[in-house]
Structure 1
């Protein structure tokens, strides 16, 4: 029986570091929050431990200014960790009104869509369902 040849010397080293890099956090993290006059909160960039408190404060201020409801535009969010998700959930919890949440989702980036799907939290920010109320037999009332 012959040992296998050592092929480690045949492998070439990668030109650059191809490993995924963690998101930038701290002072270098970039997130912006803008509230439109109509009550849409537009968030862009990275939502993480360094930016989540700013997001939470902005959401609370927007909800106070627009108690009828606020739409979240998350189309430009490039990253959101569990601390960022907690900022949305905490603002929602603080402003629940008889089971009705004044925070609803508008446009959402693919990364935020995936996070909301994986955590099952997207439905918490869904607009109220409208349409005919059905009884236990399925008939319109």
Structure 2
């Protein structure tokens, strides 16, 4: 019987390629997050399980930099699932300032509004009318 050849590798010296780089705060191929000097967090693109951690980090940093309050602008969000909604709800719950929420929901896209209405969280978050929705004629 022939012994099997040794195909083991030395993990200390072998690399299979470049080490994976963490997603920088606010940057992801399908989502962009910017914090304005005034404390508005502007999100565009898709908020899902792949991008939720980047949004969570950015919200945490923005709330630390702007303890008086941050407005979350979701008017350019094209998709948001339960992972994204959880980030928003958790950040809002964790950052109370004397009973006042430090995270305020600003304008939202129609798709985000639909998610808020389906989940019953529109009133909890105090969501305004979605961007582009026409009000009653005057």
Question: What TM-score results when the alignment is normalised by the length of structure 1?
Answer: 0.66
Q: CA deviation at 1:103?
A: 1.1
Q: CA deviation at 1:58?
A: 0.4
State the partner residue of 1:31. Answer: 31
Larger radius of gyration: 1
RMSD: 1.7
Q: How many residues align?
A: 100
State the partner residue of 1:118. Answer: 118
Task: Establish whether residue 58 from structure 1 lines up as the match of residue 64 from structure 2.
Answer: no
State the partner residue of 1:108. Answer: 108
Residues 125 and 100 (structure 1), Cα distance of their counterparts in 2 relative to 1, 3 Å cut: same
Where in structure 2 are the equivalents of 1:1-141 lying within 5 Å? 30-126=30-126
**Partner deviation per Cα, 1:82-109 (whole Å, 9 max, x = no partner):** 0111111111121123432111121110
Please list every run of 5 or more consecutive structure 2 residues that lacks an aligned counterpart in the other structure: 1-27, 128-138
Name the one with the larger strand percent. Answer: 2
Matched residues in 1 for 2:98 and 2:122: separation? 19
Which stretches of structure 1, 4 residues or more, deviate above 2 A after TM superposition? 122-127
Residues 126 and 78 (structure 1), Cα distance of their counterparts in 2 relative to 1, 3 Å cut: same
Matched residues in 2 for 1:81 and 1:92: separation? 17
